[in-house]
Amino acid sequence: MLLYPSLAAGFLFIGVPLLVHLINLLRHRRTQWAAMDFLLASYRKQRRWIVLRQLLLLLTRLAVAALLIAVLAGLIGGRGLIGVIGGQTTHHVIVLDDSYSMRQRVAGGAGSGAAVGEAPAESGRDSTAYDRALASIASLVRGLSTDEGIHQLTVMRASRAALIGDANKGSADAAADLAAQTVTGDARQIERLMSTRASTLRTDLVAAIDLASDLLTANPADSRRLYVVSDFSRRDWQSPRRIAVSLEKAKKSGAEIRMIDCVETGSTARPRNLAITDLAPEPDVWVAGVPVMMNVTVKNYSDSEAKNVALTANVITYGDDVKVADPTSTFSGSPQSLPAIMIESIPAGQQLTKTFQVYIDKQGTHVVRVGLPDDALAVDNTRVCTIPLADAQRVLIVDGNSDGIGGYHVSSVLDPGSQVRIGAIPEVRPAAMLRDATLETLQRYRAIYLIDVPEINERASDTLSQYVRDGGGLAWFLGNNVSAENYNRNLASPNRQLLPFELDRIETASDLGFGGDDTDPAQSKRESALVFGKDAEMLGPISRAGNGVFGLVNLQRVWSPAPSTISVASENTSPGNSLPNDAPENDMAADATLDASGRPVPPATDDPLDLRILLERGDGVPVAVRHTLGRGRIVTVNTGLDGKWNNWPGDPTFVVFLLQTNAMLFSGASQATSRLIDEPAELPIPGDSYLPTALLLPPADEPPRMSIELEADDQSTSIVVSPTEMVISEQAGVEDFLMPGIAEWQRTGTDGQTSVLPLASVLRVGESDLAQVTHAEVLRDLPGMGIEFMSTGTWESDGNIGGMSTFLLILLALLAILLGIEQALAAWASYHAKPGSAGQGRRHVSGIGSARGVHESAMEIRPRGRSRSRRAGAVSSVESDETTEVTQ
C-alpha cells in the first residue's frame, strides 16, 4: 500500500542500473589477439568468481533504487516485521464530550449503530452530534488496527470525569472507559463505547482534559496524541483560560493536540431551540382539593423570535390505589391531560413564565409534566415536578390579649368558612399554653402564630427554636403587651435567633409630628404610611399593584428595632433572590452554585438568617420582616392587630398579606418538588412505618424500566442513592438513573403493604444554548498550543501517517545499509594494483565493465604499437592478482 500512488511510476528507475550494465557490455568490439590468448585461459579459471561479484553488485544497486522509490512513495506495510523487531508505541487519548448538548440533531451525520469495521449509516439521515463522534472514533480505531507499530487507546467521557472529579474519588483510570488498551486487529476494544449515548449532564471539558493529561504523563510511550471531540458550544469556550491551563499540562507531556468538531456547521448562528428551564408550584398551602398554581418558564435560545408556542401539560396522579410500580410502563400513575398552554411570542434570547392551575382532589405526591414541540434538542423539551398534597394542616394561634381580637382576625382569614378552603385548620389557644408546651406538642402544627404574647420563658424559647429549625413556621405580631427586655434576652439572642433584631421602643404617630404647628401633615402622613419593602416580590401579585393599595391603612404604632441591630441586618440583606432574564447563565468558570432551575444562587452574605424586608413604614422602619432559621421560616410583624395600633385588619390587603405569609410558613418545610439528575436521591424510611428496603425504578424513554434493589444502612432512617458512587462502583443502571423524567420508589410498610412514591428528576440548565465557537476563535484564544482542527473523515489516514513512522525509520536504515554494501561490493569488484609494483600508475576503474578497464591498463604498461593495441582491445581483462602478474 502506498500513501502516494502517483510516485509508483518511479519504480521504473530500477531498470537504469541494468541498462547501464548492458551498455557497458556492448561498448567494445571483440578482436582476437594471439599474444593475450594465455590471459583468456586464466580468465576462464576466474570467470565464475568475477561474474558472481558483478552480479552481487548489480543486484545491490537494483535494491537501492527500489528502496529509494519505496521511501519516496510512502510504502506502508510489514506489520509482521514490526512485530518481530519491536515498533514505536503511540498513546492516543480521546476526550469525548458527552454533555447533553451533544444530543442535538445534525444533518447528514453518520450513525453510530454500525459495528466496528462496518460502514457508517447512510449519510443524509439526521443523527446527533454524539453519533458523529462515535463514528469518528470507530474510523480512527479501524485505521490504527491496520497500522504499524503499537497503539494504545484511552477514551474518557467528560461526564464520567466530572462526576468522579467532583467527588474527589477514584483516579483517571477509573474515569476512563478505556485506559491505555492496546489496539488489536479486530478493534474490539470500543464495542462497549459504541453502545453508549450522550449523557444528560451539564459539564465542560476541563475535568476530562485534566485527567487525560495525567494519563498521558503516567503512561510511557514514544509519541502521544490528545484528541478533543466536541460540538464546541460557545458556553464551553467562553472562559478559554481554564481550558488553556488544562491543555498546557498535556502539551508539556509531549502530546500533539488535535480537535474534532462533530457539528461543523460553519456558522455561529444558533439552531432553533426552545427549552423549559423551570417548572414548580407557587409557594402555598399544598392541600388536596385546593387548586395549586404552577409556573412554567420557557427560554428561546434561538436568534429569532418564537411565535405561537403550544405547551402540552398533564397531571399524573398517584395515591393509595397505586400500590406497585409497573416496570412495563414509563410511569405507574394515572395520566390526565390539561388544556394546552399557549405562548404568543418569546423574543430571541429571552424567557417567559406562564402560570396555570392544577386541581387534584387526592392526597399524596403527584406529578405535573409539561412539554414543548420537537426542535434541534429534544432532551430539554420536557420537564416534570411533583406536588405533595396533604390533608388540611393544623395551625396554632396564641393570643396574648384577653379579648382575643388578634386571634380572631388571623383565624377568620385562615378559615373563612362556607365553601372556601385554604388548607389550614386554626386552633386558638391562650398564652399560658406555651409555658409547658413540648416539642412533640408543637410539631403537630404546621405553623404557629404568636400575637402580642407578653413574655416567653427560656424553656419555651428553646422549644420554639428547635421547632423552627426542624421545618416549622412561626409568625410574630408584636403589640402593646410585649416585654422588649424579655424578648431581647430570650428570643433575639444569638443562640436562638427567633427575632431578626432587638426591639427598641414603640413609636407612635405623634412621634412623627402629627398635630404640631410646624409640621407638614402630608409629609408626616407619607412617613407613617405602610409601603412595600425591598423584598416585596415575595408577597406575590399584590407587590405589583404599588404602594397605592395601602392608601387606607393608618399605622398608629410600631415597634422600632434597635438601631445597631437593624443597621447590621440591612447591610447583610441581599436585594433579592432572582436574576434578570438577560443575566449570564451558568458560567462554568465562576463555579457558581445553582438552584433547582439551573440559575446561579446569589453568593452567600455574612447574614446567616437571609433577612428579607417585606413591608416598611414610609420613613424606612421595617414593619414586616422574614428570616430563616434552619429549615423553617419566621415572619415578624412589628405592629399589633387591635384598633389602637392600626386599622390594617379591616383592609383587604391584610387578607392577602396573611395568606402569603401562611404560604411562606407552610412551604418552608415542604418536600422538594424536584431533584437535579446529578444530585443524590434520598428516600426517608422511618423504622416504625417501613422496612429498610426499597425498589427504585429510574426514568426511561421507553419501557421496560430496570429495577434497582436498595437497602438502608444500619441504624439509618433513609436510603441515599448517589450517581457518583454508582459511577465509581460501576453499578448497573447509572445511565438510566441520570435520565430526566419520573423515577419511582416502591416501599414496603411494616404491615406488608407496598406504596409508590414518584420522584421528579430534572436537567441542570445550561446546555441548551447551541451556539458554536469558530475554529479561528479557539486558535486565537489558545495560542502556542500547536492545535490542529481535523475533519472527522480524515482520522483514518491520519492514523496511518502517525503509525508509519516506525516502518519509515526501518526503511531508511535498510537503505543506508544497502548503500554501504554497494560501496563495499564496488571496491571488491574493481582492480587495484599492489603498492610499489609497476602498476602504480594504472587507472582504477570500478563498477560495471571494470574487467575491460584492467585490459586497457595493461596496454598502457607495455605498448606494442598500433596493431597490438587494436588486438588488445578485444581481449577481456582479468582483475585477479595472478592475471596481473602474467600480463606484466
- Report the distance separating Cα 81 and Cα 727, nearest Å: 42
pLDDT value of position 226? 92
Q: How confident is the model at residue 281 (pLDDT cuts 50, 70, 90)?
A: very high
Averaged pLDDT for residues 669-682: 88
pLDDT value of position 578? 35
User: Could you read off the pLDDT of 509-546 as tens digits, one per residue?
Assistant: 666 554 444 555 666 667 778 999 998 888 887 888 88
Whether the bond between 704 and the residue before it is cis, its omega within 30 degrees of 0, is: yes
Q: How confident is the model at residue 563 (pLDDT cuts 50, 70, 90)?
A: confident
Three-state DSSP at 223 gives strand
Helix (H), strand (E) at residue 154: strand 150-157
723 and 839 belong to one structural domain: no
600 falls within a domain: no
* 590: pLDDT strictly greater than 70: no
Q: What is the share, in percent, of the chain residues with pLDDT greater than 70?
A: 75
| Maximum distance among all Cα pairs of the chain, rounded to whole angstroms | 160
* 496: pLDDT strictly greater than 70: yes
400 falls within a domain: no
264 and 279 belong to one structural domain: no
Averaged pLDDT for residues 590-606: 42
Three-state DSSP at 865 gives coil
Averaged pLDDT for residues 64-89: 62
pLDDT value of position 875? 38
Grid cell 456547521 in the structure block, residue: 265
CATH number, residue 545? 3.40.50.880
pLDDT value of position 12? 73
Q: b/e for 187-218, b at 16 or more Cβ within 10 A?
A: bebbeebbebbbbbbbbbbbbbbbbbbbbbbe
Identify the residue with better confidence: 476 or 599.
476
pLDDT value of position 699? 93
Q: How confident is the model at residue 832 (pLDDT cuts 50, 70, 90)?
A: low
* 397: pLDDT strictly greater than 60: yes
Question: In the structure grid, which three cell numbers stand for residue 389, read together?
Answer: 398534597
pLDDT value of position 337? 95
- What sign has the CA pseudo-torsion 538, 541, 547, 551? negative
- Do the strands 788-790 and 255-261 form a parallel or antiparallel pair, or are they unpaired? parallel
385 and 362 belong to one structural domain: yes
Contacts of 856 (CB under 8 A, 6+ apart): 843, 845, 873, 877
User: Phi and psi (nearest 5°) for 866?
Assistant: -65, -40
* 486: pLDDT strictly greater than 60: yes
Domain total in the chain:
4
pLDDT value of position 610? 84
485 and 564 belong to one structural domain: yes
H helix intervals, 158-230 = 158-167, 172-175, 191-194, 206-218
pLDDT value of position 140? 87
615 and 691 belong to one structural domain: no
User: Could you read off the pLDDT of 15-27 as tens digits, one per residue?
Assistant: 777 777 777 766 5
Sheet containing 754-762: give its strands across. 675-676, 754-762, 741-749, 690-697, 708-711
User: Could you read off the pLDDT of 747-760 as tens digits, one per residue?
Assistant: 999 988 999 999 99
Count helices and strands (H / E) in the chain.
25, 32
Q: Give the residue among 365, 373, 206, 179 at the shortest CA–CA distance from 276.
A: 373
Grid cell 490528545 in the structure block, residue: 226
Strand segments (E) across 578-677: 612-617, 622-629, 632-637, 675-676
566 falls within a domain: yes
- Report the distance separating Cα 411 and Cα 449, nearest Å: 10
331 falls within a domain: yes
Question: In the structure grid, which three cell numbers stand for residue 699, read together?
Answer: 426514568
Three-state DSSP at 350 gives coil
Contacts of 706 (CB under 8 A, 6+ apart): 327, 697, 698, 700, 732, 733, 736
Report the residue count for the chain: 888
Q: How confident is the model at residue 849 (pLDDT cuts 50, 70, 90)?
A: very low
* 126: pLDDT strictly greater than 70: no
Identify the residue with better confidence: 218 or 114.
218
- Report the distance separating Cα 363 and Cα 288, nearest Å: 5
- Report the distance separating Cα 575 and Cα 607, nearest Å: 13
614 falls within a domain: yes
**What is the torsion angle, in degrees rounded to the nearest 10, for the CA atoms of residue 839, residue 844, residue 847 and residue 851?**
-30
| Domain with 789 in it | 89-269+772-803
* 865: pLDDT strictly greater than 90: no
- Report the distance separating Cα 870 and Cα 26, nearest Å: 16
- How would you write 330-347 as a 3-class SS string? CCCCEEEEEEEEEEEEEC
Residue 420 and residue 413 in contact, taking contact as beta carbons nearer than 8 Å: no
Question: In the structure grid, which three cell numbers stand for residue 43, read together?
Answer: 580468465
* 354: pLDDT strictly greater than 70: yes
> Any idea what DSSP says for residue 271?
P
Specify the long-range contacts of residues 401-408, CB closer than 8 Å, at least 24 apart.
401/451, 401/452, 401/479, 401/481, 401/642, 403/642, 404/428, 405/641, 405/642, 406/451, 406/452, 406/477, 406/479, 406/640, 406/641, 406/642, 407/449, 407/451
- Report the distance separating Cα 727 and Cα 163, nearest Å: 8
134 falls within a domain: yes
Q: How confident is the model at residue 746 (pLDDT cuts 50, 70, 90)?
A: very high
192 and 320 belong to one structural domain: no
- Do the strands 255-261 and 178-182 form a parallel or antiparallel pair, or are they unpaired? unpaired
Contacts of 748 (CB under 8 A, 6+ apart): 690, 691, 693, 694, 754
Residue 107, number of CB atoms within 10 A of its CB: 10
Q: How confident is the model at residue 87 (pLDDT cuts 50, 70, 90)?
A: low
Residue 158 and residue 179 in contact, taking contact as beta carbons nearer than 8 Å: no
* 794: pLDDT strictly greater than 70: no
- What sign has the CA pseudo-torsion 26, 31, 32, 38? negative
355 and 286 belong to one structural domain: yes
Residue 441 and residue 472 in contact, taking contact as beta carbons nearer than 8 Å: no
Q: b/e for 859-885, b at 16 or more Cβ within 10 A?
A: beeeeeeeebeebbbebbbbbbeebbe
Averaged pLDDT for residues 653-667: 90
> Any idea what DSSP says for residue 713?
P
User: Could you read off the pLDDT of 43-76 as tens digits, one per residue?
Assistant: 676 777 777 878 888 888 888 888 777 777 656 5
Domain boundary among 646, 667, 688: 667
31 and 153 belong to one structural domain: no
815 falls within a domain: no
- What string of DSSP letters covers 791-827? -GGGHHHHHHHHHTHHHHHHHHHHHHHHHHHHHHHHH
pLDDT value of position 60? 83
Region for 664 from its dihedrals, namely left if φ exceeds 0, alpha if ψ lies in -120 to 50, beta otherwise: alpha
Identify the residue with better confidence: 836 or 632.
632
User: Phi and psi (nearest 5°) for 316?
Assistant: -115, 110
Grid cell 405547551 in the structure block, residue: 311
User: Could you read off the pLDDT of 294-352 as tens digits, one per residue?
Assistant: 999 999 999 999 999 999 999 999 988 899 999 999 999 999 999 999 999 999 999 99
Grid cell 409555658 in the structure block, residue: 435
* 466: pLDDT strictly greater than 80: yes
- Report the distance separating Cα 575 and Cα 533, nearest Å: 10
Averaged pLDDT for residues 99-127: 61
Q: How confident is the model at residue 353 (pLDDT cuts 50, 70, 90)?
A: very high
- Report the distance separating Cα 773 and Cα 239, nearest Å: 12
Three-state DSSP at 721 gives strand
Cα angle 768-770-776, degrees, rounded to a multiple of 5? 145
Residue 448 and residue 472 in contact, taking contact as beta carbons nearer than 8 Å: yes
Averaged pLDDT for residues 758-785: 90
Q: How confident is the model at residue 877 (pLDDT cuts 50, 70, 90)?
A: very low
Least confident of 573-582, 637-646, 724-733: 573-582
pLDDT value of position 499? 93
**What is the Cβ-side half-sphere exposure of residue 207, based on CA atoms within 13 angstroms?**
26
User: Could you read off the pLDDT of 805-826 as tens digits, one per residue?
Assistant: 556 677 778 888 888 888 888 8
Mean pLDDT taken over the chain: 79
- Report the distance separating Cα 763 and Cα 396, nearest Å: 39
Averaged pLDDT for residues 698-712: 89
Q: b/e for 313-350, b at 16 or more Cβ within 10 A?
A: bebbbbbeebeebbbeebbbbeeeebeebebeebeebe
pLDDT value of position 754? 93
* 859: pLDDT strictly greater than 70: no
Averaged pLDDT for residues 786-808: 61
810 falls within a domain: no
225 and 141 belong to one structural domain: yes
CATH number, residue 206? 3.40.50.410
CATH number, residue 683? 2.60.40.10
pLDDT value of position 649? 92
Least confident of 275-289, 424-438, 866-880: 866-880
Question: In the structure grid, which three cell numbers stand for residue 881, read together?
Answer: 592478482
- Report the distance separating Cα 750 and Cα 693, nearest Å: 11
- Report the distance separating Cα 271 and Cα 101, nearest Å: 12
222 and 146 belong to one structural domain: yes
Averaged pLDDT for residues 110-138: 64
pLDDT value of position 601? 44
658 and 796 belong to one structural domain: no
650 and 678 belong to one structural domain: no
Domain boundary among 651, 667, 683: 667
Q: Please, what is the angle between helix 805-828 and helix 795-803, to 10°?
A: 40
